[in-house]
Structure 1
Amino acid sequence: MSARAEQPTGQPDQERRRGGFSSRRVFILAAIGSAVGLGNIWRFPYVAYENGGGAFLLPYLVALLTAGIPFLLLDYALGHRHRGSAPLSFARLRRGAEGLGWWQVGICFVIAVYYAAVIAWALRYTFFSLDEAWGADPEGFFFGEFLQAGDVRVTADVVPGVLVPLALVWVAVLVIMALGVQRGIGATSLFFIPVLVLAFAALVVQAVLLPGAGTGLDALFTPDWSALASGSVWAAAFGQIFFSLSIGFGIMITYASYVGRREDMIGSGLVVGFANSSFELLAGIGVFAALGFMAQANGVAVDQVASDGIGLAFVAFPAIISEAPAGALLGVLFFGCLVLAGITSLVSVIEVVISAVRDKLDTGRLTATLLVGVPAAVLSLVLFSTTSGIYVLDVVDHFVNQYGILVVALISMLVVAWLLRALTRLGDHLNVHGRPRVGTGWRLLTSVVAPVGLAVVLVLALRDDLTAPYEDYPTWLLVVCGWGMVVALPVIGFLVARLPWRAGTHLDGPPPGSDPVTPLGAATTGHDEGGTR
């Protein structure tokens, strides 16, 4: 019997209308593009430095193998078997679980709204690097002349220097999303990821040739073996893995649903996991080589110049660029890499929302892109192109990561593993075409080790935030943009789950042909509507 004959009438057309990646290679590049984001460049190096240096690589590798990749494969299995967005995949797993998918969709919408602002800053700084526009005071320039940040209060005072590049970022993203899965996301990944790797490799080579680079690398990689006895170090390793792999909040579920049914998802997961970690290690080398140069140039220890996040990117690195030989080139490479990494991650985040809207409402690609992208762009411009944007962004980013992504990831793992008892059949699906096979070990890691690791990270984060207000921000800001958002997202998610699906949506288990006992004879994933097979 042919593959087409094994499916009910209309099923191939539905999958072709959703779109798909043209090959496993495109999917892997897109998945790597999602995983490799701003956090790889500005978060991992400092986390490693603060948690034992070279010794941190041991708990990091353990976390990757015991929690990161197992959870990544769980996301792949959900999306690949159930052939839908996060809400549709959870609904096909069990109708009552649909709200988990919409919770993830809400998180992605929030992230997209503020993530675009950071990309806009990086875009502007790419050009600032040419003439070192920040002058002798990079910190004063960033918070003062560039962002015009004043007191911690909500204002409507627009900053044109942020508004224009932010609008350009959204125009570019909406064009990519409107083009579809293959012609938009896939084509972008095929071009951006190789360029990103080459550009970052050039950045690292230039950084390690700077005077004092060895001092920075010694600071990063000299192992503090006593740190391995600290639970917080192991928690930091698990937290870094979950933050950097784009798992647990719908992205990999969505991307996996666009892959041909006969593809090896296990092998793909291993490639993506190790590629992401390799890029983080490369980022650590480049960043700390540059910090070593800065420390030597100023006659101070590396720990006095080391930082992470926004401070590293927009304060420390401009200072390095100002003092380094060929600083303009170093700056263009660094901030250009931030833009490329940010764009590939942003399109994956917003695709989670677009895919869910298309599945729920049965809309076309362009319609869904406008329904999702225009409100997201407007909110982004209103909130983050003002003088108060930096403070709102900082609070939202902290809370949506700590208590949005991690909480929904923990709950979804527990629901799938213990409430729905679905790991065996999901593992069987992965094993149809995947190698190496997953079995009892994978189920144990996904149902016990990964949830315990996540729970510890959450408990430590909650302890810190309850001990002292985050960054000493006023209570009203933390309640409205932090705790209030965290509570609202799951409530809204489960309310949206009560809305009816489009007529004809198959919700009773996976679509025909997705079960491991009846694999299709050929992949059915095609290009987006209007494309060619």
Structure 2
Amino acid sequence: MSSTTIEGKPREQWTGQTGFILSAIGSAVGLGNIWRFPGVAYENGGGAFLVPYLVALLTAGIPILLLDYAVGHRYRGSAPTAFRRLARWLEPLGWFQVLISFVIAVYYAAVVAWALSFFVYSFDLRWGDDPAGFFTGSYLQLADVGGADPWVSLDFVPAVLVPLVLVWIVAIGVLVAGVAKGLERANVIFIPLLVVGFGILVVRSLTLPGATDGLDALFTPNWAALGDADVWIAAYAQIFFSLSVAFGIMITYSSYRRRRANLTSPGLVVAFANSSFEILAGIGVFAALGFLAHQQSVAVGDIEGLTGPILSFVTFPTIVSQMPAGPLFGCLFFGSLAIAGFTSFISILQVVSAAFQEKFGLSRRQAPVRIGIVAAVLSIVGMGTTTGLVALDTIDNWANNVGIVASAVLTCILVVWVLRRAPLLRAHLNAVSTTQVGPWWYACVGVVVPFVLAFMLVSRIVSLVAEGYEGYATWYLNVFGWGMIGVLVVGAFVFARIRWRVDPDVFEPWPMIGATTGGAASGADERRPGATDAGKEGRR
């Protein structure tokens, strides 16, 4: 029989391992794989960047992914539930992750909406001869903030508003359908479609004149770069931001796995599939950039906009306009971008929905509708206006580089060093998995990950305080950057203080792991007052 929810009802589950793996890959493979990795690799040693990238994957990416899996699977709940069951006082950390996910969902939907718009625009190459002017002018109608226009505007942009509303309606519908019939079914359809569509795009890119020049620019190794600490930090940052770890997604997703479910082998599959797609994206993107450089008779490095939204919505439309069968290429690219973004988006939204469902006793239909409506309104008001791009850029920077990194550092330190639960969690992984986790995992999640990420966090905070961000007004950064982080911290403690509709502590983890795991980490110490046979149901 299945394990139970907080309310004592059967907990939703993935139908099997394949559904979970595809859904986890769908979460991990997102916008950053396509528009961030190629540029980061190019700027940090080219082919030589793959060395620190692989090291980061093995010493940080996979270990912290398995940490999330272990916490979610053992404690059978969303981030607040799982962390509370680790230790009551740890619940605010779970809510901090949930609120980060909420904020990210608000602006992430906008980028998916942009990709949908440009998918439609690809049919007639509507951006014309000036993709940059079209994106910021005709499409976004971007305000001249700091100049004649205000920093915050309620002037809505119809071209953004329509697809944005559509994205929210479809996402809420997927979550209302549930884990198996909604999330899993969407990923089972979209991930193979993404692989096929993007694969065709890559093959087409490789046949373009100048494609080899682009690949040479990307993969020619600059071995001297390996001596630069910033290159190694960039590799760890890319792996960390790419795998959807430390803000509740993988904790929530793994909680829907059956009790007797293999964790480590699927984790390896997800991690390497994510990295493989990033390399595939690098090949496709730089082959296309090589073509553009060939057409303009310039070096690849002289092309502006090699990362981020400018790469996707300015540089690629320029490429599409100059290549044979451009509309088809544009449809493949923006269709892939929309799919990758949407599968990540629904995973982010599920983190929030699951947490509120468990805390306030909402049904699986009530939670996504209520949360989705609130988030959609904020998304429309904040991102569907002429100042949406500036707000998105600012909030994204603080949410990712400050919020998520701080969450990861705190998780490792509190779980590994303060609670000393690493032996227990490793024992849990090994008890249910075929591929065994060795003692090396302690060093990774207890030393490597917190040290590297703490260095990243401190460096970024110092930079933001001293230099600001993108020349934006200080008051604006204090409100939408630091102010947003402050609200998330306060909100985390407020939500943790609210009374649970049903006591989450009536819970018994399985399998019970004895004193062999060491001291306070023993399974006996995890038993909650009032634990019933409900926990034992999950053993079968």
- Would the TM-score normalized by the shorter structure come out above 0.5? yes
**Conservation of the 8 A alpha-carbon contact between 2:7 and 2:502:** no
Mark the CA change 1:514 to 1:91 in structure 2 (over 3 Å): closer, same or farther: farther
Separation of aligned partners in 2, 1:473 and 1:482: 11
**Conservation of the 8 A alpha-carbon contact between 2:249 and 2:348:** yes
Separation of aligned partners in 2, 1:24 and 1:15: 24
Separation of aligned partners in 2, 1:53 and 1:523: 48
Question: Are positions 1:22 and 2:19 aligned together?
Answer: no
The within-5 A match list for 1:232-381 is 232-305=230-303, 307-381=306-380
1:482 alignment partner in structure 2: 481
Letter in 2 for 1:232: D
Separation of aligned partners in 2, 1:423 and 1:314: 44
Q: TM-score when scaled to structure 2? A: 0.93
Partner secondary structure for residue 209 of structure 2:
coil
Report Cα offsets for 1:351-391 as digits up to 9, x if no partner.
Answer: 00010011111110111112210000011011111111111
Report Cα offsets for 1:164-215 as digits up to 9, x if no partner.
Answer: 0000000100100100111000000110000000001011001111100000
Aligned to 2:97, which of 87, 104, 110?
104
**Conservation of the 8 A alpha-carbon contact between 2:511 and 2:539:** no
Mark the CA change 1:103 to 1:322 in structure 2 (over 3 Å): closer, same or farther: same
2:86 alignment partner in structure 1: 93
Mark the CA change 1:15 to 1:260 in structure 2 (over 3 Å): closer, same or farther: farther
Shift of 1:512: 4.3
**Conservation of the 8 A alpha-carbon contact between 1:83 and 1:511:** no
Separation of aligned partners in 1, 2:356 and 2:468: 36
Q: TM-score when scaled to structure 1? A: 0.94
Report Cα offsets for 1:494-522 as digits up to 9, x if no partner.
Answer: 22111111234335xx5343434699999
1:208 alignment partner in structure 2: 206
% identity of equivalent residues: 52
Shift of 1:15: 6.7
Question: Are positions 1:437 and 2:430 aligned together?
Answer: no
Relative contact order: is structure 1 or structure 2 higher (C-alpha 8 Å, sep ≥ 6)? Answer: 1
Letter in 2 for 1:429: H
The within-5 A match list for 1:28-67 is 28-67=21-60
Partner secondary structure for residue 220 of structure 1:
helix
Mark the CA change 1:12 to 1:405 in structure 2 (over 3 Å): closer, same or farther: closer
Shift of 1:523: 6.0
Question: Are positions 1:145 and 2:143 aligned together?
Answer: no
Aligned to 2:159, which of 161, 164, 172?
161
Count of matched residue pairs: 516
**Conservation of the 8 A alpha-carbon contact between 2:249 and 2:351:** yes
**Conservation of the 8 A alpha-carbon contact between 1:67 and 1:238:** yes
Partner secondary structure for residue 315 of structure 1:
helix
Shift of 1:461: 2.0
**Conservation of the 8 A alpha-carbon contact between 2:289 and 2:300:** yes
Separation of aligned partners in 2, 1:516 and 1:146: 57
| Gaps in structure 1 of 5+ consecutive residues | 526-533
| Gaps in structure 2 of 5+ consecutive residues | 146-150, 515-522, 524-532
Q: CA RMSD in A?
A: 1.8
Aligned to 2:228, which of 227, 230, 234?
230
Separation of aligned partners in 1, 2:475 and 2:174: 37
Separation of aligned partners in 2, 1:70 and 1:513: 22
Shift of 1:460: 2.8
Partner secondary structure for residue 471 of structure 1:
coil
Mark the CA change 1:516 to 1:340 in structure 2 (over 3 Å): closer, same or farther: farther
The within-5 A match list for 1:355-434 is 355-434=354-433
Report Cα offsets for 1:314-365 as digits up to 9, x if no partner.
Answer: 0000000000111111100000001101110001000000100111111101
**Conservation of the 8 A alpha-carbon contact between 1:260 and 1:524:** no
